[in-house]
Structure 1
Amino acid sequence: MAVSDTQSPARRKNVIAWISLGVSLLALGLKYAAWAYSGSVALKSDALETVINVAAAIGGLWAIHLAERPADDNHTYGHYKAEYLSAIIESAMVLVTALLIARESYDGFMHPQAIHAPWIGITLNGAATVVNLGWGLTLLRIGRRIRSPALVAGGQHVLSDVWTGCGLIAGLALLPFTGWHWLDPAIAALIAVNVLRVGWDMLRQSVSGLMDEAPDSATLTKLHDIIAEKAIGALEAHDIRIREVGAITFIEFHLVVPGTMTVGVVHDICDRIEAGLRQALGRCVINIHVEPEHKAKNMGIVLAHATTAS
């Protein structure tokens, strides 16, 4: 199933979520086979992490479907934050997985066992790692382009699995030559630490989205520049607020205009500003509160070109 740039964002995210589920199931099958053939604690730990990938893909399908539902009487701003909820749930699952892997590592240290058929296990796990690398990069690229927290979180999780797999393969490849049985649980312990780090980072980003954290300075600068460019005839823009919820940007500010300006002219100015913001930032919900000139605060965006307006 191909992912086309001509599809709507909602359709594209739904297609990607279904592909994610298929890729996760394929990787899980390969990693389970790798553990079954070898008996390696590290490979078992890696397979445990992939179980979370499958659960996360199912959760992502639910979140994306819910996030695209239109606003209703109970959710007048829409359901966009459902993707953040999905990302938080996935983050929590990743943290729990880290603890399970740590327990497996501890058991491996206490009861070390020889690995059977290590090269078969390494080969199978390597195939799963290659699959995850391609898909993880795809999820990150598309998720960032269409501003989907669920897809970005999924991509970060999958790529953490890739780096884990690379370290795991390198470590297990040494076992047949060194005979260091402790290396297997040691690798599992490193996997647990990496999974814990990724889960914490995912949780932090998702909570920031739910708390309406302001976007980066580059986005704010772009917003100010667009208002200054399009608000010809107005005097000032202040009390500017912006928040990003998934693929939607919510913007509100006060626009000060001359007291003699007609409603029609003010409406045209607002239309120009809204069109410029949507062209630059994509899907936006914009609320502009118009005020007369005596409400100016001499702060925010002072529009120097206002005196040239007729």
Structure 2
Amino acid sequence: MSDDYTYIAEADREKRIAALSSVGAALLLTGLKLGVGFATNSLGILSEAAHSGLDLVAAVVTYWAVRAASRPADADHPYGHGKVENLSALVETLLLLLTCGWIVREAVDRLFFEAVHVEPSVWGLAVMGVSIVVDISRARMLRRVARKHNSQALEADALHFSTDVWSSAVVIAGLLALRAAMFFPQDSFMFAVLQRADAFAALVVSCIVVFVSLQLGRRAVDVLLDGGAQEQVERAADALKDLPGIVRIERLRVRQSGPRTFVDLLLCVPQGMSFEASHTLSEQAERRLQAVLPQADVIVHMEPASPDEVGMLERIRGVAASHGLAVHAVSFMLVDGEQHVDLHAEVAGEERLEVAHERVSAFEADLARTLGKATVVTHIEPVAVREDALPEASNEALTAVEGVVHSLLDAEPDVDDCHNMRLHRLGDELSLSFHCRMSPETPVSVAHEAATRLEKSLRARLGDISRVAIHMEPTPRNHQA
């Protein structure tokens, strides 16, 4: 958690520095453009000065928004203050559109109603050249910080400076056209066209600014209305689609609040999943989501999947878990269109038979309803718990049993080897366990059949064997012939 706070504090510091530097750059450019614009009477440069002046206002708004958005969540704002950044982006959009309206009106007046002499001085060209250099450096820096910390306010500021680059280039083209007009007679068509190039340049600037502003405004409104996150939703869904344990993603919602991303989702999981397993699954889902949506605030809710979405065994275990029971040795078959289910239900050894029977009967009735028309037969047995250590059998007995096991393996050519053999004495009887290896491609059903044959053969050969546990595992590929 301390790492998260450190990251957030560092991100806020970087954003404030970036926003403050854009204020200084906008102030410099606005002063230069105003001075040269009034000196040369160039509407293109004056429109650029107005644009830079608006950039200055936007930069100040951005700086305020970044500071306000960094405040932590409180009782009135449980999701934090991040949307202040999105609101500031919308305000910047409206200011840009108002400025464009003024520029378009002035340009139309100069094109059709009022002729104004413009001096295409070298100073005008120099100021616009300086503007392009400053704008490129500021736009790159702001865009880098905006992408790093997912700040729409800084991204809006970067768009302002990027727009200035293109609009300044258009103004330079207009001023060059005015200088070119000096080489044509004043009553010629080319002179009239080139004389109005400055106003045409102002119109082009306005079109660029309007286009960018509308894009920025649409995105700001989307975030303010908790929309426009479809791409993030798709990335989140792709991150979870192959996570084991999830039956279905019922709901996945993503909302943006300034630089922070909030995700809430509803996962359907198998009915028999334990609390510990579901908690582990939710942590895995959260880590995967934060890998594709860094620093996301994730809330995972889980509910059991419907019976039709899981297999028969999962459905039986889910019903048993709802009654506080564990089951094993489950078998089911379909006879004349009716399900027959046999299973063993585990209860505490000290529980009274009357209480255990009532619990198991309720489970049987519930399971029959869940499966439809079904007959359920349950064998009640105590949970096998031994706290005392079982004594190991003698070396002579273990050697004798090993010989029997290895002789039986000759009849099982698909079994590669036998190892980890353990033999314990339970009074007058023995408990045997060992591991066998088979090919990794062997189906589970085939491996189970081999283990069952070995167990039956061992019980037939060794009458004092009470328990046999055979663990089947794949042969490591580097050990295969």
TM-score normalised by structure 1 residue count: 0.87
Cα distance, 1:177 vs. partner? Answer: 2.1
Cα pair distance change 1:290/1:105, threshold 3 Å: same
- Structure 1 segment 74-93 matched on structure 2, within 5 A: 74-93=76-95
The higher radius of gyration belongs to 2
Higher percent of residues as helix: 1
Tell me the alpha carbon deviations over residues 185-229 of structure 1, each in whole angstroms, 9 at most, x when there is no partner: 222222222222222221111111112224244x33431232234
Cα distance, 1:140 vs. partner? Answer: 2.1
CA distance in structure 1 between the aligned counterparts of 2:308 and 2:148, rounded to whole angstroms: 37
Pick aligned residue for 1:192 from 181, 203, 206: 206
Is the Cα–Cα contact under 8 Å of residues 120 and 176 in structure 2 kept in the other structure? no
Look up the SS of the partner of 2:82 in the other structure: coil
In the other structure, the counterpart of 2:297 is: 285
In the other structure, the counterpart of 1:155 is: 158
CA distance in structure 2 between the aligned counterparts of 1:34 and 1:133, rounded to whole angstroms: 21
In the other structure, the counterpart of 1:301 is: none
CA distance in structure 2 between the aligned counterparts of 1:24 and 1:250, rounded to whole angstroms: 33
CA distance in structure 1 between the aligned counterparts of 2:291 and 2:203, rounded to whole angstroms: 48
Pick aligned residue for 1:116 from 108, 116, 119: 119
In the other structure, the counterpart of 2:256 is: 244
Is the Cα–Cα contact under 8 Å of residues 33 and 45 in structure 2 kept in the other structure? yes
Is the Cα–Cα contact under 8 Å of residues 236 and 296 in structure 1 kept in the other structure? no
Structure 1 residue 254 and structure 2 residue 254: aligned?
Answer: no
Cα distance, 1:80 vs. partner? Answer: 1.2
More deviation, 82-91/231-240: 231-240
TM-score normalised by structure 2 residue count: 0.57
CA distance in structure 2 between the aligned counterparts of 1:103 and 1:68, rounded to whole angstroms: 40
The higher-RCO structure (CA 8 Å, 6+ apart) is 1
Opposite residue 73 of structure 2, the aligned amino acid is A
Tell me the alpha carbon deviations over residues 10-56 of structure 1, each in whole angstroms, 9 at most, x when there is no partner: 11111111011011111112212321331211111110111100000
In the other structure, the counterpart of 2:241 is: 228
In the other structure, the counterpart of 2:171 is: 168
CA distance in structure 1 between the aligned counterparts of 2:18 and 2:308, rounded to whole angstroms: 48
Opposite residue 78 of structure 2, the aligned amino acid is T
Is the Cα–Cα contact under 8 Å of residues 120 and 175 in structure 2 kept in the other structure? no
- Provide runs of 4+ in structure 1 moved above 6 Å: 295-298
Is the Cα–Cα contact under 8 Å of residues 45 and 104 in structure 1 kept in the other structure? no
CA distance in structure 2 between the aligned counterparts of 1:296 and 1:17, rounded to whole angstroms: 55
Indicate the percent of aligned positions where both proteins have the same amino acid.
Answer: 29
- Structure 2 unaligned spans of 5+: 1-6, 183-193, 311-481
Look up the SS of the partner of 1:282 in the other structure: coil
Higher percent of residues as strand: 2
Cα distance, 1:278 vs. partner? Answer: 1.5
Is the Cα–Cα contact under 8 Å of residues 87 and 206 in structure 1 kept in the other structure? yes
In the other structure, the counterpart of 2:39 is: 37
Opposite residue 225 of structure 1, the aligned amino acid is D
CA distance in structure 2 between the aligned counterparts of 1:210 and 1:97, rounded to whole angstroms: 24
Cα distance, 1:7 vs. partner? Answer: 7.4
Pick aligned residue for 2:282 from 270, 280, 293: 270
Look up the SS of the partner of 2:76 in the other structure: coil
Cα pair distance change 1:131/1:273, threshold 3 Å: same
CA distance in structure 2 between the aligned counterparts of 1:225 and 1:103, rounded to whole angstroms: 50
Is the Cα–Cα contact under 8 Å of residues 119 and 173 in structure 1 kept in the other structure? no
Cα pair distance change 1:111/1:144, threshold 3 Å: same
CA distance in structure 2 between the aligned counterparts of 1:268 and 1:212, rounded to whole angstroms: 30
In the other structure, the counterpart of 1:135 is: 138
CA distance in structure 2 between the aligned counterparts of 1:247 and 1:297, rounded to whole angstroms: 38
CA distance in structure 2 between the aligned counterparts of 1:295 and 1:215, rounded to whole angstroms: 32
Cα distance, 1:63 vs. partner? Answer: 1.0
Opposite residue 217 of structure 2, the aligned amino acid is L
Q: What is the CA RMSD across the aligned residues, in angstroms?
A: 2.2
Is the Cα–Cα contact under 8 Å of residues 37 and 120 in structure 1 kept in the other structure? no
